Amino acid sequence: MKPVKHSKPTLRRKTDNPKDAAIYQLAGDWVSEQADSCVTLLDHFAPHNDSVGLEGAAVTHMDITGAWLLVNRVLEMQRDGQTVTLSGFDERAAHFLQQADDLRRQPVQPPPPCPTLRQVILTKADSISRSLLTSLSFLGEFWLLVGATLRHPGTFRLRAFVKQCDVAAVRAAPIVAFTSFLIAIVLAYQGSAQLQRFGAQIFSIDLVTISVLREMGVLLTAIMVAGRSGSAFAAEIGTMKLNEELDALKTTGMEPMEVLVLPRVLALTVMMPLLTFLGDMTSFVGCGLLTVSTTSTSWQLFYARLTGAVHMKDFWIGVGKAPVFGLMIALVGCYHGLSVANSAESVGRETTNAVVNAIFAVMLADALFSIVFTMIGI
């Protein structure tokens, strides 16, 4: 099919009427393909008469672009005090001219004013206060549910708890073990390289094992679980809310907190110490492999140094923080899942917020633990 070839538009003076009104005749195609020609014609169209008439009977084609350009020039002439009348246009062209005139005469909405610093602060404070109240309400509802479950253990959903232990913790064991193994190798290598200058490479074992037991093991495990299980909790519950499955649960008489939140939170709280223990052991293996392969240390010497440097107090400090971190990660993930609005974008946003806020909460709690342990001398 060959493209339509449009003729050039024209604008010529036709005649003067007795009342001193100049009549101009439009012809050709006033369409978007001839927009440059239309603009040139209208730019040079400057009649000096107080009354101007435009006839469009000879216009072959006109689209919204041509109509917009013509109406724009007519309104400029009217603002200069001239009287302009349009006549002779066919029904289609008249429709476009009316649309262009309506759009051109619409008042321009001014851009919204830039908020002041005070307004920004008040808006942010209001958002934070609302989020805080919602979080406190969620925590209160959760702990009330825990109390009710302790009074009536038969209501606890054991099958859902076991499933979440498998999904959230057991399946996370390989990545936790592998990450802890690699981090221990990095710590051992860097520590050995620095202590070599003093001839104290053997003390890199003390450095790695104590730091892993007290801090790095549980912290790395918590970060990995937050990125894996915390985000999964938020995405799963958020998608269920988006699909109105939570409303369906309420309709059937089941509470989402009891069915979805409680098993996930308890599962991660119980399994975090086991994951931390696994991370600690794989860290020892990584440290031992690096130390034995790069120094003259034997496995017997490594074991002797390990048992001499490590105390049960260090082990229980790290493992004791794990349930708290697991509880925080699960609560944050479930809270953001329940905060999802009715859009897929909200699911992604709340999932991201769940990971970020869970890691932040873990870091903050770990810092508080360190301060408290230092104050009490352990």
Instruction: Give the percent of the chain with pLDDT over 90.
Output: 29
Q: What is the DSSP letter of 84?
A: E
Name the percent of the chain in helix, strand, coil, to the closest 5. Answer: 75, 10, 15
- Give the pLDDT of residue 4: 59
What are the structure tokens assigned to 141, written together?
């509802």
84-94: pLDDT as tens digits? 888 888 888 88
User: Binning pLDDT at 50, 70 and 90, where does residue 15 land?
Assistant: low
- Give the pLDDT of residue 19: 54
CATH class for the region spanning 10-105? alpha beta
- In the chain, the amino acid numbered 220 is L
Of 188, 196, 200, 203, the C-alpha closest to 284 is 188
User: Binning pLDDT at 50, 70 and 90, where does residue 262 land?
Assistant: very high
- Give the pLDDT of residue 107: 67
Residue bearing the bigger pLDDT, 107 or 145: 145
- Give the pLDDT of residue 1: 45
Of 82, 10, 2, 18, the C-alpha closest to 40 is 10
Cβ within 8 Å of residue 262, ≥6 positions away: 142, 145, 146, 149, 156, 157
User: Binning pLDDT at 50, 70 and 90, where does residue 16 land?
Assistant: low
- Give the pLDDT of residue 179: 92
Cβ within 8 Å of residue 358, ≥6 positions away: 226, 230, 328, 329, 332, 333
- Give the pLDDT of residue 353: 92
For residues 66 and 70, give the distance between their C-alpha atoms in angstroms, rounded to a whole number: 6
For residues 280 and 272, give the distance between their C-alpha atoms in angstroms, rounded to a whole number: 12
* Ranges 196-205, 250-259, 320-329: which has the least confidence: 196-205
Which conformational region is residue 199 in: left (phi greater than 0), alpha (psi within -120 to 50 degrees), or beta? left
What are the structure tokens assigned to 100, written together?
């262009």
The torsion angles phi and psi of 87, rounded to 5 degrees, stand at -150, 160
For residues 4 and 48, give the distance between their C-alpha atoms in angstroms, rounded to a whole number: 37
For residues 11 and 58, give the distance between their C-alpha atoms in angstroms, rounded to a whole number: 10
Query: With b meaning 16 or more CB within 10 Å and e meaning fewer, what string describes 93-103?
Result: bbebbeebbee
- Give the pLDDT of residue 117: 85
Query: With b meaning 16 or more CB within 10 Å and e meaning fewer, what string describes 26-39?
Result: bbbbbbebbbebbe
Q: Is the pLDDT of residue 74 over 60?
A: yes
Where would I find the beta strands (DSSP E) of 75-157? 83-87
Query: What are the structural domain ranges in the chain?
Result: 10-105, 135-376
What are the structure tokens assigned to 346, written together?
């909200």
For residues 273 and 176, give the distance between their C-alpha atoms in angstroms, rounded to a whole number: 12
Which residues, listed in sequence order, are joined to residue 83 by a DSSP beta bridge? Answer: 51
Q: Is the pLDDT of residue 81 over 60?
A: yes
What pTM was estimated for this model as a whole?
Answer: 0.70
Q: Is the pLDDT of residue 378 over 70?
A: yes
For residues 306 and 25, give the distance between their C-alpha atoms in angstroms, rounded to a whole number: 101
